[in-house]
Structure 1
Amino acid sequence: MSVVSSTVMTAGMVYIHSSPVALCPHIGWALETVLGQPVRLDWTPQPLGRSLMRAQFAWGGECGTGSRIASALRGWENLRYEVTEDASPGVDGSRWSHTPSLGIHHTWLSANGDAVLNEDRVKAALQSADLTLIRSEMDRMLGTAWDAELDPFRHAGEGAPTRWLYRVG
């Protein structure tokens, strides 16, 4: 009897919006540990801060790799990043956003990249009769504060090169 392994593969992006120079090699090492292959990041200056760098690259791997990357980067001070994982057969897409002041936020993504809100969380928010509280909870679920804080860093790197990394095997 032969057992066939069916691993669902996906792809995604890592955007390091800002990192202190001294942290850059450690980020590369953390990514190599998660991806199981050498990673070479092309660091460029982040115009929004002195001694800050930025990098981005595309990865390919098994479903769940995005979560492992986001976890590996979590907890470092002064690091702003986003990790995306594309939707694949039977698996929702995701985006993890991190800022020093807000910590990490996870959003499920539809195939076209829109944020998807969990039905139970929406129902819980709507239980409140307080419209301000409902708006606040919807903003939290959508990651509005994370987008507001990361947006200047996203636009500061427009035109930055993208490095594609694929895991083979």
Structure 2
Amino acid sequence: MITYTPMDIGLCHGRLHIYSCPKALTKHVQTVMEGELNQSLVLNWQRQPLRPGGYRGSLSYSHGIGSGAKIVTALKSWSYLIFELSEFNSFEGSLYLYTKELGLYRSPINSQGQIMVSEDLLNSVITQDMIQGDLRDAVEKLMGKPWDIALEPFREVEIQAVTNVADRLSV
């Protein structure tokens, strides 16, 4: 019997945003990431203005298919983290969103980064006896809206940081 590793099957490319991490965990998080990706990494930690005492960092990686799931499994064991990971192979990908309050959200995404909801999941929601508002909430949950709402302020901090760097470079 032939056993294939994820690297034998193909590479994927991912982007991890850790939006909030206590300072005491930054080294541990980096060590776990290095172990999962089997390479040295430099995470550029910066203060997280939305969480006093918190830090944020991000990185891109290329590794075997399924690396994102392993990274997420390792990171979600620290409930203090808030993070987002997207991973793509040549034609599809996965999106993972995590907050302590909401837990983990995972969805397949297409090559444009759009969430794909399976027919079975959609059928399970629409066949339940719900009033219209509950149905809307259930579909929004399938699409990750509560996680998007929770993560949006952190994404805005990232966008503002990039804008500030661009402004300094253009002067």
What TM-score bracket applies, with the shorter chain setting the length? 0.7 to 0.9
Counterpart of 2:105 in structure 1 is: 105
Counterpart of 1:134 in structure 2 is: 135
Superposed CA RMSD: 1.8
Structure 1's unaligned 5+ residue stretches are 162-169
Counterpart of 2:79 in structure 1 is: 77
Alignment check: 8 A CA contact 2:11 2:89 kept: no
Q: What secondary structure sits across from 1:157 in the alignment?
A: helix
**What is the CA–CA distance in structure 1 between the aligned matches of 2:16 and 2:93, rounded to whole Å?**
14
Displacement of 1:77 after TM fit? 2.5
Alignment check: 8 A CA contact 1:117 1:141 kept: yes
Displacement of 1:137 after TM fit? 1.5
Give the % identical residues: 28
Displacement of 1:47 after TM fit? 1.2
Displacement of 1:67 after TM fit? 0.8
TM-score when normalising by structure 2 = 0.85
Q: Which stretch shows the higher mean deviation, 118-127 or 129-138?
A: 129-138
AA aligned opposite 1:141:
L
Structure 2's unaligned 5+ residue stretches are 1-6, 163-171
Matched residue pairs, number?
156
Counterpart of 2:67 in structure 1 is: 65
Counterpart of 1:96 in structure 2 is: 96
Q: Which stretch shows the higher mean deviation, 16-25 or 75-84?
A: 75-84
Alignment check: 8 A CA contact 1:108 1:117 kept: yes
Alignment check: 8 A CA contact 1:8 1:88 kept: no
Is the helix fraction higher in 1 or 2? 2
AA aligned opposite 2:142:
M
Counterpart of 1:144 in structure 2 is: 145
Q: What secondary structure sits across from 1:115 in the alignment?
A: coil
**What is the CA–CA distance in structure 1 between the aligned matches of 2:39 and 2:161, rounded to whole Å?**
23
Displacement of 1:100 after TM fit? 1.3
TM-score when normalising by structure 1 = 0.86
**What is the CA–CA distance in structure 1 between the aligned matches of 2:17 and 2:86, rounded to whole Å?**
9
1:15-45: CA deviation from partner (whole Å, max 9, x where unpaired): 0001111111111011011001111110011
**What is the CA–CA distance in structure 2 between the aligned matches of 1:12 and 1:159, rounded to whole Å?**
22
Displacement of 1:159 after TM fit? 5.2
**What is the CA–CA distance in structure 2 between the aligned matches of 1:145 and 1:154, rounded to whole Å?**
14
1:127-158: CA deviation from partner (whole Å, max 9, x where unpaired): 02422332122111111111111110111122
Displacement of 1:75 after TM fit? 2.2
